[in-house]
Amino acid sequence: MDAPLEMNTPPKAAPVATTWLPLLQEALAREGRFRFPLRGTSMRPTLPLACEIEIVPPPTQTRLGSLLVFVNGDALIAHRLVRRAAAGWIAHGDGRLAPDRPLQPEQVLGVVAAAYQDDRRIWPGPAEGLGRWFWVARHHALRPARCAWRAWRRIAGRRGLPR
């Protein structure tokens, strides 16, 4: 009996945002909410690694501390709104030291209303109001350290020192 031939098929490329974003926007407009699997660690410890987030349309006035869901390149990102600046909104993953690049409000698909693990609601909890302000305050408290680090990297780069 002949062995089956193995075919070398290239891996399928991930669909680009221009393909799936209109579908998500349509689903959100039609249903008013949808669940999306969360991957990555940037929102730990607030949200666990493998959970589903429930996304709803953004309110007219998005509050500081809200978990925004926005498009960055071909990725859908869920990070916390920590500041509104002239250059745009600043979002920051709870598990990261540095914030994201400024984003425009038009990039925001929605906000996270809830998170589920094994069909059990795990977020928001009773202390989410305090947690929201903790993460916003943490972003602002770390700002001087981030500025000092960037300055050191510029100086070190000019002088040939280890960065």
pLDDT recorded at residue 13: 59
Q: Is the dihedral of CA 85, 149, 47, 17 positive or negative?
A: positive
pLDDT tens for each residue of 24-68: 899 899 999 999 999 889 999 999 988 999 999 999 899 999 999
Tokens found for residue 142: 């770390």
How do residues 134-161 score in pLDDT, each as one tens digit?
999 999 999 898 889 888 888 887 777 6
Residue 69 tokens, joined: 């869901």
Q: Of 82, 37, 35, 74, which is closest to residue 56 (Cα–Cα)?
A: 35
User: What architecture is domain 17-159?
Assistant: Ribbon (2.10)
pLDDT at 161: 67
Q: 57 and 66 in contact (C-beta within 8 Å)? A: no
pLDDT digits (tens, 9 = 90+) for 98-126: 999 999 998 999 999 999 999 999 999 99
Q: State how far Cα 30 lies from the chain centre.
A: 23
The pTM assigned to this predicted structure is 0.82
